[in-house]
Amino acid sequence: MKVTRTFITANVSVEIWKKTENGIEHDNVEMDLFGCDSREKAEIMLSKELRNQLYSILSITFTVTKASVDAEKFLSIADCTQTVIDEQGFKKEEEN
């Protein structure tokens, strides 16, 4: 059995306008937004990262990375905790 995870990263090209002593300047930057899977989410993440700055998304692409590892290997390298519960507790866990 394998444990598989999918990671999505938005690769965003952004134009940023800044007010400086010399007037308004703009700069084009490339940013990678980990865990971002849509243009709308990219807008939210950029608004938090680029506070008080005007910006415009010029282009956006998405990189999908799939990682898998055998379950035994995963358990040997993961930070795991184990809890023993009775059948009633197990049913409650499934409901949540």
Model confidence at 92: pLDDT above 80: no
Who wins on pLDDT, 37 or 80? 37
Model confidence at 40: pLDDT above 90: yes
Query: Which amino acid makes up residue 59?
Result: S
Q: What is the pTM of this model?
A: 0.69
Of 53, 69, 12, the closest CA to residue 35 belongs to 12
**Stretch 50-70: mean pLDDT, rounded?**
93
